[in-house]
Amino acid sequence: MSEGKNNTSDLEQFFSANEKRMEDELFELLRIPSVSAKSEHNADTKRCAEWMKQSLDKIGVPAKIYSTKGHPIVVGEWRKAPGAPTVLIYGHYDVQPAEPLDLWTTPAFEPAVRDGKIFARGSVDDKGQIFLHVKALEAHLTTRGKLPVNVIVLVEGEEEIGSDNLAEFVESNKEMLKADAVVISDSAMFAEGQPSILSSLRGLAYFEINVQGPAGDLHSGSYGGAVQNPATALARIISTFHDGNGHIAIEGFYDKVRDWDAKIREGMRNLPFDDAGMMKEVSVDALGGEKGYTTLEKLWIRPTCEVNGLLSGYTGEGAKTVLPAKAMAKVSCRLVPDQNPKEIEKLMAAHVAKVAPPGVKATVTALHGGSPWRADLDGPIFEAAKRALAKSYSKEPVVVGEGGSIPVVSDFQRVLNAPVLLVGFGLPGENAHAPNEWMSEENFRIGMRAMAALWDEYAAGTG
Amino acid sequence: MSEGKNNTSDLEQFFSANEKRMEDELFELLRIPSVSAKSEHNADTKRCAEWMKQSLDKIGVPAKIYSTKGHPIVVGEWRKAPGAPTVLIYGHYDVQPAEPLDLWTTPAFEPAVRDGKIFARGSVDDKGQIFLHVKALEAHLTTRGKLPVNVIVLVEGEEEIGSDNLAEFVESNKEMLKADAVVISDSAMFAEGQPSILSSLRGLAYFEINVQGPAGDLHSGSYGGAVQNPATALARIISTFHDGNGHIAIEGFYDKVRDWDAKIREGMRNLPFDDAGMMKEVSVDALGGEKGYTTLEKLWIRPTCEVNGLLSGYTGEGAKTVLPAKAMAKVSCRLVPDQNPKEIEKLMAAHVAKVAPPGVKATVTALHGGSPWRADLDGPIFEAAKRALAKSYSKEPVVVGEGGSIPVVSDFQRVLNAPVLLVGFGLPGENAHAPNEWMSEENFRIGMRAMAALWDEYAAGTG
């Protein structure tokens, strides 16, 4: 093993000398409103893919743009390290919609630095994080003329809308994408200055539940009490999703939930998490969820069933005495290994059919799903990451979970049969998906260095 | 008694000759979008009051407009029948909102006749019904130059939003409004061709329930499972309003419900009600509500608790993984004698406070209320109505209940100490409060004649 042997002073010199220019380049990228969810931004999304391709070409990682049924995928390749392992670096250039715009302090697509934070839509999710990888590769290629490992960079444009076309692309191009490890930076560190490796992601099964009662809205006086009320029926259906302890009461829901490694769970329990801080952050006077689990366990290793939206009847100002014709709920379950979104769909549909009262028709439509994932935290890429992070941050990394979903992670692992390292440079409170999204300038700078160091460590650890 | 003695051929001649003109006038009234609930229609509501005043002036019932804190009240008076009784005819010129507009076959405020039905918002509730009274008075005044009784016509503009200012107006003007009987047409007949006298109305207690969770919308992955979901909390709160038998489970809710006269209840049970017909009418495969009661009992003599609207989180197309900051429900209870809306407000607030989970703040705001009412079905105005209806429809009237509310009825009875006759000319399926509201042309025509006959019968019966 080669721990500590890599000399990175040449890289450090390059990073120091080019810091300002690299941040300027990031700002250029952040100015492109590549909102994948909105077709009015299709030209921007396309322009953003072009920009990514050129930024890879420029540093000596020749890239191509692959069109899909949706937004294009950019792939850059550098394969001049025979005998060395190959890594696939994945990220996404698309961003969430910026609305509501009036809640942004400075415009969403005009990056601004305040208190060491780069504010812009996509700053941390995921443009800043994929771009620091590009700059890490540039450091190697410029100072040394080569990389210590073979590298494939894959940047997609549909992560925020479910990565619908990526799995097929990976399947169809698995020879080109064949790698010994996949590295993704699209997550957050546990705390400022605390480097973190992600051990798990929750999956997702997202539904729309529609309850149809009478053919049209009725007068609640003339019909109320005799005709089943679909809004009441929907509320009663939703109320059966959990028992009084916050445990999900859908039959079979937990059947596939796999136990966790006792050591990892112990490590998570030892992380200093501040429930009161979270309550203050979101302005509530009590937390919720499943009894018997810590907050981090509820977020990282337990599945959920959440209502994302409700709509029925009259919702305007004042009173309207209507018995609504229909009621709708958006409901999504976060899943943990080895729950399967398709199976959860079936359980949900069966549950709703069972509990829906007579006199209404309740239908469950699956909108999308993604598998949960858990890392196998052994092997050279993880060891190399631990060393590179420890050096760059002068602190040992911790293993964390993540409550959100990155649907492609399990696809990569399955199709490429390679371990996936999730090493993120976001921070708590970063407002990903919300107004005033930001990325720490320090993490952009240290992240580049850490990822540049990673390739040295990984090459040495596998050499 | 004078049953059958009144000769109405002069009136009949007048009605026949003026039918088309009177329908045209009604259409003019229906074109005014006097939606009391929406401040954007305030000018229309004012214009509608002006229109009503002029239509009374024109027929020789001089009218004044009285402003209130809300929409104005129109009062017309004709007092030239010394020794004859005085009747107060009440109606309302305001209408429900027309939304959802896209469900109307023809525009809500552009009356259209199809299959003998006048389609327009307000056609049956209540413009068509109050206007047929005006036309009945016109028939007397034009053909005979006088009325057989003294008449006060009171038309308000806030019935659809709770008649908030009417009770005070009646209190403050009880000398002017002093009457021997109050007559209201704002209800439906039991079936086509079956004249009906209403024996009871349900009251109303209307609430908005707001559940506040976190200060802003959160990412359902990053916070879901640990932060209480206000939409789920609201659904669970609503699910506690009823038990499994459709019985309302709010503590104390039934404490004041008075038993019914066995004869009237028996009469209601004997009315030929067709559950299958109602199911077909509203397109459901089963009815709902409280076990142990017939459909008519559920509608007429039992209280309800209905959800009128639900709103929370993301309700657009597709999926958005949001943990909503808040959730709202519009909920209203129909009340029966002797339930009191103020008491029910307190019970509802106490119930919601009791069942709301920690981590959210649930508030109950009372939007409006109205007392339930039951008629004392004796005395000259009821006898006169039975005769007038039997003649005009060639069929004996039946006594029915009504599930809806006319909040002012109990106010009139209490303040004026006069019996209230509720005689309606709507029909089942008329879509009051819903898209494609209609009134039967035939009932507009026969209704005028019946009400013109009523004044002859009443004068004769009290003479």
Mean predicted confidence (pLDDT) in B292-317: 95
Question: The tokens of B9 are what?
Answer: 């051929």
Helices B230-239 and B341-355: angle between axes, nearest 10 degrees? 130
Q: Please indicate, yes or no, if residue B67 is contained in any of the structural domains.
A: yes
pLDDT of residue B4: 44
Distance to chain B for A358, nearest Cα, Å = 6
ipTM rounded to 2 decimals? 0.84
- Higher-scoring residue by pLDDT: A219, B463: A219
Q: Which residue, of A370, A386, A402, is where some domain finishes?
A: A370
Question: Does residue B210 share a domain with residue B140?
Answer: no
**Residue B85 touches chain A, beta carbons under 8 Å:** no
Which of A354-363, B129-138, B352-361, B424-433 comes out lowest in average pLDDT?
B424-433
Q: Please indicate, yes or no, if residue B276 is contained in any of the structural domains.
A: no
Q: Please indicate, yes or no, if residue B274 is contained in any of the structural domains.
A: no
Mean predicted confidence (pLDDT) in B51-78: 98
**Residue A167 touches chain B, beta carbons under 8 Å:** no
Q: Please indicate, yes or no, if residue B317 is contained in any of the structural domains.
A: yes
CB < 8 Å to B219, chain A: 404, 432-434
Q: Which residue, of B320, B348, B370, is where some domain finishes?
A: B370
Question: Does residue B163 share a domain with residue B34?
Answer: yes
Distance to chain A for B7, nearest Cα, Å = 37
pLDDT of residue B433: 85
Picking from A247, A310, A436 by the largest number of B CB atoms within 10 A of its own CB, the best residue to mutate is A310
What DSSP letter does each residue of A256-303 carry, written as one string?
A: TPPPPPHHHHHHHHHS---HHHHHHHHT-SS--S-TTS-HHHHHHTS-
Q: Is the pLDDT of residue B420 over 50?
A: yes
User: Least CA distance to A336: which residue of chain B?
Assistant: B221
B421-442 pLDDT, tens per residue? 999 999 988 998 889 999 999 9
CATH number for the domain including A398? 3.40.630.10
Q: Is the pLDDT of residue B406 over 90?
A: no
Which residue, chain included where needed, has tokens 């240290």?
Answer: A446
- Would the CB atoms of B162 and A319 count as touching at under 8 Å? yes
Rg of chain B in Å (alpha carbons): 23
pLDDT of residue A24: 98
- Would the CB atoms of B402 and A222 count as touching at under 8 Å? yes
Please tell me the number of Cα atoms within 13 Å of B110 on its side-chain side.
Answer: 5
Number of domains in chain B: 2
Question: Does residue B439 share a domain with residue B343?
Answer: no
- Would the CB atoms of B306 and A224 count as touching at under 8 Å? yes
Q: Please indicate, yes or no, if residue B231 is contained in any of the structural domains.
A: yes
User: Least CA distance to A230: which residue of chain B?
Assistant: B307
Q: Are the CB atoms for A302 and A373 separated by under 8 Å?
A: no
- Would the CB atoms of B324 and A316 count as touching at under 8 Å? no
Q: What average pLDDT does chain B have? A: 94
Q: Please indicate, yes or no, if residue A264 is contained in any of the structural domains.
A: no
Q: Is the pLDDT of residue B150 over 90?
A: yes
For B290, the closest of A225, A238, A357 (CB atoms) is A225
Q: Please indicate, yes or no, if residue B324 is contained in any of the structural domains.
A: yes
Phi-psi group of A347: left, alpha or beta (phi > 0 → left; psi -120 to 50 → alpha; rest → beta): alpha
Question: Does residue B237 share a domain with residue B179?
Answer: no
CATH number for the domain including A354? 3.30.70.360
Q: Please indicate, yes or no, if residue B283 is contained in any of the structural domains.
A: no
Question: Does residue A421 share a domain with residue A321?
Answer: no
**Residue B187 touches chain A, beta carbons under 8 Å:** no
Question: Does residue B188 share a domain with residue B240?
Answer: no
- Would the CB atoms of A309 and B313 count as touching at under 8 Å? yes
User: Least CA distance to A288: which residue of chain B?
Assistant: B228
**Residue A286 touches chain B, beta carbons under 8 Å:** yes
Please list the alpha-helical segments (H only) found in A89-245. Answer: 128-144, 166-172, 174-177, 230-239
**Residue A291 touches chain B, beta carbons under 8 Å:** no
Which of A217-226, B1-10, B370-379 comes out lowest in average pLDDT?
B1-10
For A221, the closest of B218, B238, B403 (CB atoms) is B403
User: Which residue range is the domain that position B119 belongs to?
Assistant: 9-201+372-462
Distance to chain B for A24, nearest Cα, Å = 30
- Would the CB atoms of A308 and B322 count as touching at under 8 Å? yes
Question: Does residue B146 share a domain with residue B21?
Answer: yes
Question: Does residue A192 share a domain with residue A160?
Answer: yes
Question: Does residue A166 share a domain with residue A312?
Answer: no
pLDDT of residue B6: 61
pLDDT of residue A3: 42
pLDDT of residue A407: 73
Distance to chain A for B287, nearest Cα, Å = 5
A154-168 pLDDT, tens per residue? 999 999 988 989 999
Nearest one of B91, B201, B59 to B447, comparing CA atoms = B91
**Residue A406 touches chain B, beta carbons under 8 Å:** no
Q: Which residue, of A335, A370, A405, is where some domain finishes?
A: A370
Question: Does residue A249 share a domain with residue A152?
Answer: no
Q: 3-class DSSP state for residue A210?
A: strand
Distance to chain A for B259, nearest Cα, Å = 18
What DSSP letter does each residue of B18-64 carry, written as one string?
A: HHHHHHHHHHHHHTS--BTT-GGGHHHHHHHHHHHHHHHHHHT--EE
Question: Does residue B330 share a domain with residue B456?
Answer: no
Q: Mean pLDDT per segment of 10 residues, for chain A of length 463 residues?
A: 61 97 98 96 98 98 97 98 97 94 96 98 98 98 98 97 92 96 95 94 95 94 94 98 97 95 86 92 95 94 97 94 96 96 98 98 94 89 97 95 84 92 94 93 98 97 82
Question: Does residue B184 share a domain with residue B130?
Answer: yes
Question: The tokens of A377 are what?
Answer: 């935290």
**Residue B261 touches chain A, beta carbons under 8 Å:** no
